[in-house]
Amino acid sequence: MAHGPYAIAKEDGVIFIENACPGDELELEIYDQRKDFAYAHIIELLEASELRAPEPPCKIHKICGSCQWQHIQYDEQLKFKQQNLTDLIPGVETPAIVGMDEPWNFRNKITYPVEVVGKTGRVKAGYFKRNSNELINVKHCPIQYSIFDEIMDALKEQMSTRGYPDKLIRHIMLRSNIDQSEILLCVVLRESMLDKEFRNKLRVDLNKIQEKFPQIVTTSINYNDLSTNVILGQKTEVHNGPGYITETFGGIKLEISTTSFFQVNTKQFLKIVEQIKSAILRTLSEEKGTSGSHKLLDLYCGIGTISLSLAKAIPELDITGIELVESAVENAKKNAEINQISTAKFIHGKVEDLASPEPSAQSPQPYDIVIVNPPRKGCTNKVLNDLGQLKFKQLIYVSCNPSTLARDAKHLEQFGFKIQSLQGFDMFPHSFHFETLAVLTRE
Ligand SMILES: C[S@@+](CC[C@H](N)C(=O)[O-])C[C@H]1O[C@@H](n2cnc3c(N)ncnc32)[C@H](O)[C@@H]1O
């Protein structure tokens, strides 16, 4: 398996095949021939690999853009992810990837694109077909919390009678806490298409769905008129409720607002945070004798999930978190308050501007430990070069993309950083994605 949706066959070059499994015997049709490689469709599965999952539970898994590996047995998916990680970052001893005991119903958030069909006004919502913008009207998705199927079904039915025009509603987002006692519903709209009539209809719909599902504690409307693929716009209105849901994560309470980032697989992220704690405790015990607090910088800190979990467990840490999204920083500050944590502070801004090697009032250097948890594209060169100049020994890199982690770790070698340990975590079963925790150190 490539680190992507394709299995690889080799014959006079490389052939990438979707929905194939290593060990299959296949009849293929090449649909895109390049110089050294080609893409092919399966015409016939002549003999199925014994690594195939006997009956993937999702009827649309072969076409849905969300799960690319559902046709492979879960244990084998884990082995392929492990192989992807060691291929991308060779030469580091890597323990087996941490999988899920029950790799279904794990997603705590969905964001469905929406379409209104022709004159019937029927509302469709779900996922796009792979490599296309054709929308599949998803009725059941086995990787998400099952309550989302019920809510989306009821909402779509309700909305289908209202005559909403197509393109007014861009997305519907649902996010839940782990025990599913609090759910947040957000409708993303094109504000330029919203008149009084539809505003009223939408209010009725949001009220009705909340009556039907009292666990929906917050309903909100987000406005996005941009023609990009960024889902959420800058403006959010809370229609009803406090504007957030409350999660209990390990020993801490977290408020999560509509536009703030929160990891989609709560159970697996808890395991990652536990390993981060262990790595830091090991470092602190090795440095016994250094008195006073240890300064930790948490870059791309979101709502403070990592910072506050560490602050609660390790009181001698003095933590500074930096985050770009304002609602997330507000959540982080409030979350520190709720948990009576005074050793973590949070700053709103770009890591590129605020993680500078120049000491400043906001940046109480020197740091002992830095954590980075960037988006999929990884850290920019500016951030990596600044990290190189900052004086600290241990860098904990939490990555949802092993390719950019490999690139960034290579860049950091010039500053003396070496990967000391590497551990994969399967946060996204049935897709090719996974999370990696890398601990880098320098003398
Ligand atoms: C993968 S999330 C990690 C969040 C957090 N560590 C957690 O586990 O919940 C990446 C975060 O980086 C933020 N972000 C993206 N680019 C940024 C930048 N240039 N400066 C600061 N924060 C940024 C995003 O808003 C998001 O909250």
In the prediction, which pLDDT does 12 show?
80
Rounded distance from Cα 299 to ligand 1 centre (Å): 7
Q: How does DSSP classify residue 107?
A: B
State in Å: Cα 2 to ligand 1 middle.
27
pLDDT at 438 over 80: yes
351 CB near ligand 1 (under 6 Å): yes
Res. 288: pLDDT tops 90: no
Q: What's the pLDDT tens digit per position in 290-342? A: 667 899 999 999 999 999 999 999 999 999 999 999 999 999 999 999 999 99
Residue 422 pLDDT class (50, 70, 90 cuts)? very high
pTM (predicted TM-score): 0.96
- In ligand 1, the atom with minimum distance to the C-alpha of 269 is 8
Q: Is 404 in the pocket of ligand 1 (CB under 6 A)?
A: no
**Residue 362 pLDDT > 90, yes or no?**
no
**Domain extent listing, the chain:** 1-52, 109-249, 265-441
Catalytic residue numbers read: 400
Q: Look at residue 361 and tell me whether its pLDDT is greater than 90.
A: no
Q: How far is the CA of 184 from the centre of ligand 1 (A)?
A: 20
User: If residue 399 lies in a helix (H) or strand (E), which one and from where to where?
Assistant: strand 394-399
**Buried (b) or exposed (e) across 250-272, using 16+ Cβ within 10 A?**
bebebbbbbbbbbbbbbebbebb
Asked if residue 196 lies in contact with residue 163, where contact means CB atoms within 8 angstroms, the answer is no
Q: Does residue 66 have its Cβ closer than 6 Å to ligand 1?
A: no
Interval 233-257: pLDDT, tens: 999 999 999 999 999 999 999 999 9
pLDDT tens by residue, 213-230: 999 999 999 999 998 989
Locate the ligand 1 atom nearest the alpha carbon of residue 263 and give its number: 9
Domain range 1-52, CATH architecture? Beta Barrel (2.40)
Superfamily of structural domain 265-441: Vaccinia Virus protein VP39 (3.40.50.150)
Encode pLDDT of 13-71 as tens digits: 899 999 999 999 999 999 999 999 999 999 999 999 999 999 899 999 999 988 999 99
Ligand 1 within 6 A of CB of 261: yes
pLDDT at 163 over 70: yes
Q: Where are the alpha helices (DSSP H) in 288-380?
A: 305-313, 326-338, 351-354
Fold of 109-249: OB fold (Dihydrolipoamide Acetyltransferase, E2P) (2.40.50)
In this structure, of 101-105, 108-112, 268-272, 352-356, the range with the lowest mean pLDDT score is 352-356
How high is the pLDDT of residue 118? Answer: 83
Please tell me if the CB atom of residue 386 comes closer than 6 angstroms to any atom of ligand 1.
no
* Tokens 């790799």, located at residue: 103
Determine the pLDDT at residue 363: 65
Amino acid at 366: P
> Which residue's CA is minimally distant from atom 17 of ligand 1?
324
> Per-residue pLDDT tens for 269-281?
999 999 999 999 9
Same fold, 109-249 and 265-441: no
Ligand 1: atom nearest CA of 400 is 1
pLDDT per residue as tens digits for the range 75-91: 999 999 999 999 999 99
- The pLDDT of residue 364: 62
pLDDT of residue 216: 98
Distance CA 136, CA 402 (A): 29
Interval between CA 431 and ligand 1 midpoint (Å): 22
